[in-house]
Chain A
Amino acid sequence: MTSSPATVQAAGTEGRTSLRQFTRVLGAVILLFVIWRVTTVGLSEGYPASFWISQALNGLVLGGVYALVALGYTLVYGILFMINFAHGEVMMIGGITGYFALQFAQARGWMEGPWAVVVVALLLIMFIGMAASVLIGVTLERLAYRPLRQAPRLVPLISAIGASLFLQYSVLLIFGVSPHSYRKPALISGGLRLGDVFIPYTGAIIFVTSILLMLALYFIIQRTKLGRAMRAVAEDRSTASLMGVDVNAVIVVTFMLGSALAGAAGVMLGFHNTVVKFNSGFLPGLKAFTAAVLGGIGNIPGAMFGALLLGLIEAIGPSALGIPTEYKDVIAFSLLVLILIFRPTGLFGEVLSEKKA
């Protein structure tokens, strides 16, 4: 006998130890690199404090939008243990629909009307975008995911990627490649100047709206009967059904909530970036997914926190590390890879590993 079970086991443990050592070394190298860039490039450029504050505020705005989208990933994962990779497209559809609603409102001159009219019209535009996203989200659940509920976990994932491509290219086919541009009404075009820091109104509105929507979601989940049922279904579907909970209905509502938040994000991102097109859900979708993973997927406060953190890192990162801003996406996705290597359960991720993982 050359290889007893004991030696096999020892070899396995050894392999794991050297892997852990490798990731530790890798972590140290990355940390040193970041420190080196920040001290030699970021800080030596001599940017004024107001610059950093402006960047941070931009980051929070972007983070708020990511948070709304990230919540959709995390809600669905919490209940179905699947990543809805078409969620970015659900957001994009909200943005596209919001664009047409805005066109409609502008054609009727509502956007130049008294401020109350503009505010109501903007709210309506957002609701219409949200409604469109809800419709798409619920359809996805019904057609692309529910039939695969008993299938191995990889299968709905592939279905999600297929749905994502289907939605992108359907929009491309219907509306063409050229971006649709959101024209901001004059009422929200300016901004607020505090010393050297400029805060655009849209940024402030997006941030505040995101926070309000997140609070609303948190209230629904923690304080209402529906939210309690959602949490029960997330923990144990069959026991929840023994309590009289219609599990399918709860899953549909989960998709509705996640999609509504994504729709709001889509419209707000339209105003923020001024353009929407068939693929404008792709990158934000991946970023929001990164944010959800950063916070620990399935964890609701984690998704909010992870998204705000990611927004900040993306906004400050390029200047701090001395990287051209065109490469800011590299930072987000490097971060995703790093989390998956070092802390796959995310920053608050103990929830995931409980029993179903």
Chain B
Amino acid sequence: MLKLDSVHTYYGHIHALKGVSLTVNEGEIVTLIGSNGAGKTTTLNTISGVLSARAGAVYLQDTTRKAGEQHGNGRDGDIRLDQLPAHEVARLGVSQSPEGRKIFARLSVQENLAMGAFARTDADGVRLDLERVFELFPRLKERLSQPGGTLSGGEQQMLAIGRALMSRPRILLLDEPSMGLAPILVQQIFQIIREINAQGITILLVEQNAQAALQVADRGYVLETGNIVLSGAAGDLLANPQVAEAYLGI
């Protein structure tokens, strides 16, 4: 459903992604692991259109177009995300819960969730999804009118994921959802990632906590200084001695 083809992204002269290729199939949880500064956040932001790729392409499978219809500039039946601004990527069903949560601190919890549903016009569907978010995170329901900035770190993480879900995404990009959380909450977050996936949402998960990420994922990619150096089924990566040494701290 999502495919990166040899993507190069720069920050000025800094060459952060040096030809990243990866694929996420419909219904999968795919994890992208790698040490600090490897380029994981850069990858997600390139997909989202916050950063633009200087070379390569990002394809999203287009479900709205019928076969045989005139297509744009992508491959047949695909949309080129790398040529779209961030807000249009979001409107195509690619939702990101960004690194560091990025809650709107002065907007209330309710308003933050409403921002997640910004591009939607189906009020009934939005109400339904709000209920779904409250089922996943009952904590948020108790704090609806509180400014987002006054939530605890863990609550903010819940809000960030909930906000990303409010767009009813086709694919959810999660950037370090377990960062800074107590171990019990980390477990809970990974449990919730499973639940979200079970509801039919495809997930691309970026994590420092490679062990937990590989346990929840179907497949994984290992990123090192802007290059994909390893990929495979999550179980195989968990068993790989190279991965174990570098990322699992074994």
Contact = CB atoms under 8 A, between A and B. Distances in A.
Bind each other:
yes
Contact of B107 (A232, A238, A246, A354): A232
Given A244-B167, A245-B118, A238 B104 contact: no
B224 interface: no
A238 B86 contact: yes
A236 B163 CA distance: 15
Contacts of A354: 105
A225 B105 contact: no
Contacts of A229: 115, 118
A228 interface: yes
B71 interface: no
Given A228-B114, A242-B98, A247-B87, A235 B167 contact: no
Interface in B133-171: 163, 167
Contacts, number: 63
B9 to A, nearest CB: 15
Given A241-B50, A242-B48, A244-B167, A225 B102 contact: no
Nearest to A355: B105
Interface in B38-70: 48-50
Contact of B90 (A228, A231, A235, A243): A243
Interface string B87-99: 1001100011010
B86 A235 contact: no
Interface in B74-113: 85-87, 90-91, 95-96, 98, 102, 104-107, 111
Nearest to A239: B102
B87 A232 contact: no
B226 interface: no
Contacts of B104: 231-232, 235-236, 239-240
B107 A243 contact: no
Contacts of B91: 244
Given A235-B104, A242-B50, A244-B90, A225 B118 contact: yes
A225 B90 CA distance: 17
A244 B119 contact: yes
A241 B102 CA distance: 12
Contacts of A242: 48, 50, 86, 90, 95-96, 98, 102
Nearest to A246: B87
B116 interface: yes
B107 A228 contact: yes
B137 to A, nearest CB: 18
A2 B105 CA distance: 47
A243 B105 contact: no
Contacts of A241: 49-50, 85-87, 90
A229 B111 CA distance: 10
Given A229-B118, A231-B107, A232-B115, A243 B102 contact: no
Nearest to A233: B104
A89 B111 CA distance: 36
A245 B105 contact: no
Nearest to B167: A244
A355 to B, nearest CB: 9
A183 B163 CA distance: 55
Contact of B118 (A231, A236, A244): A244
A16 to B, nearest CB: 30
A246 B87 CA distance: 6
Contacts of B116: 243
A324 to B, nearest CB: 45
B43 to A, nearest CB: 15
Contacts of B167: 243-244
A242 B116 CA distance: 9
A225 B114 CA distance: 9
A239 B163 CA distance: 11
Interface centre among B90, B96, B163 (most CB of A within 10 A): B90
Given A228-B115, A242-B90, A244-B167, A236 B106 contact: no
Nearest to B108: A228
Interface string A208-252: 000000000000000001001101100110111111111100000
Interface of A: 225, 228-229, 231-232, 235-236, 238-247, 354
Given A232-B107, A242-B90, A242-B95, 4 more contacts: A228-B107, A235-B106, A240-B104, A243-B119
6 contacts: A231-B106, A235-B104, A236-B102, A239-B102, A241-B87, A242-B96
